[in-house]
Structure 1
Amino acid sequence: MICFPNAKINLGLHITAKRKDGYHDIETCMVPIPLFDALEMIEGKKDLFETSGLQIPGTEKDNLIIKALKLLRKDFNDLPPVHIHLHKNIPMGAGLGGGSADAAFALTLMNRLFDLHLEDWFLEDYAAQLGSDCPFFIENTPKIATGIGEILEPVAIDIKGDHILLIKPPVHVGTKEAYAGVKPQAPQHVLKDVLMDKSQWKEKLINDFEANIFPQYPELAEIKAQLYEMGAYYAAMSGSGSTMFGLFKETPPMSDWSSEYFVFEKLV
């Protein structure tokens, strides 16, 4: 069986509180976008994990797909060995949720492959044990996420027919680094209301990480400004970076981006 885990973008991202457990409460809207990995699983004589495409850092045991398999085996210890192949297209450490998507899609794929008949809410519970972004990718529809990202509320937002342009320079922003300079505060606007009116997005859909990260990495601020100059009706950093994205009503004009950049454009 094969599936195609997709990336996501964040429309607005507010850090609302620092928790006693060391995590932060957030408020954001996550939206799936058509940038895909490919994940294939078949039964085998022994477990085998292979990858192609972009190089994946870390060891095999650190990969969220392997962690998803081990998590299911705790409750279903008769699962047979599996051959897994992941072709990686979504950049890692980019704020696009690629690793989380791979883990969530692995859960749904194993659910089908092994006829486990687990409902989405059950899969979301497993996914939450793998990472705060993972539950979003089970239903994989636009959601407002609160808590540490695991509390999901459907939102009627549609960017279909728009064009998305992703620009990721060779900059890595660590999660700890991103949170280090953020001061949690209550959002100034009601996110759900702002999402209903695209004319308000540029002014009111704010990613709180940008204020801290842009002074350290001015290249990201320059990319955002260039996206607006190209005609984007909205541009922002996704997650804690370092991918910048622009949304356009028409096909964005060609630009001479550096060959070191990851560049992706697609009709949503």
Structure 2
Amino acid sequence: MLVFPNAKINIGLNIVEKRPDGFHNIESCFYPVGWSDALEVTLAETFSFHSDGIAIPGNASDNLCAKAYELLRKDYNLPPVKIHLLKTVPIGAGLGGGSADAAFTIKALNQLFGLDISVDDQEKYARLIGSDCAFFVRNKPMYCFEKGDRFETIDINIAGKWIALVNPGIHISTVEAYSGVVAKRSTENLRNILREPIKEWKGRVQNDFEATLFEKYPLLGEVKEKLYGLGAEYAAMSGSGSTLFGIFGQEQNVKQHFPEFRVWQGFLK
């Protein structure tokens, strides 16, 4: 079975408070984009996981896809499978690529073996793997809160807009990103702002990681300003990683302006 785990962007990211368990409560809009990995799951005599493309740090047994398989194997007595991942979504980039891979592994196993696991239960498994992993089960625009693993529908109208994602190759871990922020509640309601036309978002829809990470990595701020200079209606950093995105009113070749970086561009759905 072949599936294509896609990335997501954060449109706004407010770090609301630190939780007793050491995590942070946030509020954000998660929005799926078309930049995708390729994931193949097939029956095998023994379990294995291997990947090509962008190198994934750590041991194969610790990969989130392997953890997803192990969760379902224990509860459903699954036979061994071979998981092959072609990794193209950058790592440590704020795009949720690893979380998507794990969630799509759950969905692929559910379909491959006819497990009939409900969407709600698939999300429960995904939450055991990572905070934003559950988003990719339904994989549609959502208002996300608590650890980024609780969702409500959101009224946002940007389908058909052109988006460019620019990754300058800086790896930022979640621990590094959170080490520089102070949790606080936003003075504006993110859900209400996102109902407004996109031209009203600039300066109001904020990513709380930008202040400290732009100071540490000035290149990130430069990319954001360049996206605005190219005509983006809204531009921001995605999540806690190093990818910047610009949303445009019409199709244009943004990639030519960033020849040294990884760039994906396409229409939003």
TM-score of the superposed pair, with normalisation by structure 2: 0.96
Aligned equivalent of 2:257 = 256
CA–CA distance in 1 between the matches of 2:9 and 2:41? 26
1:127-206 map, 5 Å: 127-197=126-196, 198-206=198-206
The letter of the residue matching 2:191 is: K
User: Matched residue of 2:203: which SS?
Assistant: helix
Q: CA deviation at 1:43?
A: 1.1
CA–CA distance in 1 between the matches of 2:134 and 2:258? 34
Aligned equivalent of 1:102 = 101
Aligned equivalent of 1:266 = 266
Report whether the alignment pairs 1:247 with 2:241: no
Aligned equivalent of 2:54 = 54
User: Matched residue of 1:203: which SS?
Assistant: coil
CA–CA distance in 1 between the matches of 2:157 and 2:39? 26
Q: CA deviation at 1:223?
A: 0.4
CA–CA distance in 2 between the matches of 1:181 and 1:4? 34
User: Matched residue of 1:99: which SS?
Assistant: helix
Aligned equivalent of 1:19 = 19
Where in structure 1 are there 5+ consecutive unaligned residues?
A: none
The letter of the residue matching 1:33 is: V
The letter of the residue matching 1:58 is: G
Contact 2:157/2:195 (<8 A) preserved = no
User: Matched residue of 1:80: which SS?
Assistant: coil
Of stretches 147-156 and 219-228 in structure 1, the one that deviates more from structure 2 is: 147-156
Contact 1:231/1:252 (<8 A) preserved = no
CA–CA distance in 1 between the matches of 2:143 and 2:60? 32
CA–CA distance in 2 between the matches of 1:172 and 1:45? 36
Aligned equivalent of 1:125 = 124
Q: Aligned residues: percent identity?
A: 47
Q: CA deviation at 1:253?
A: 4.6
Report whether the alignment pairs 1:225 with 2:225: yes
Residues 191-219 of structure 1: CA distance to partner in whole angstroms, max 9, x if unpaired? 11111112221121100000111111110
CA–CA distance in 1 between the matches of 2:54 and 2:86? 8
User: Matched residue of 2:103: which SS?
Assistant: helix
CA–CA distance in 2 between the matches of 1:184 and 1:154? 24
Q: CA deviation at 1:252?
A: 3.0
Residues 112-150 of structure 1: CA distance to partner in whole angstroms, max 9, x if unpaired? 111110110000000000000001000001011110111
The letter of the residue matching 2:107 is: T
The letter of the residue matching 1:29 is: C
The letter of the residue matching 2:248 is: F
CA–CA distance in 1 between the matches of 2:172 and 2:253? 28
Aligned equivalent of 1:74 = 74
Q: CA deviation at 1:263?
A: 1.3
Contact 1:230/1:252 (<8 A) preserved = no
CA–CA distance in 2 between the matches of 1:204 and 1:96? 21
Point out 4+ residue stretches in structure 1 off by more than 4 angstroms: none
Contact 1:68/1:107 (<8 A) preserved = yes
Contact 1:104/1:134 (<8 A) preserved = yes
Report whether the alignment pairs 1:42 with 2:37: no
Report whether the alignment pairs 1:3 with 2:3: yes
Give me the CA root mean square deviation: 1.2
CA–CA distance in 2 between the matches of 1:253 and 1:151? 35
Contact 2:91/2:171 (<8 A) preserved = no
The letter of the residue matching 1:35 is: W
Report whether the alignment pairs 1:209 with 2:215: no
Where in structure 2 are there 5+ consecutive unaligned residues?
A: none
CA–CA distance in 1 between the matches of 2:200 and 2:28? 16
The letter of the residue matching 1:228 is: Y
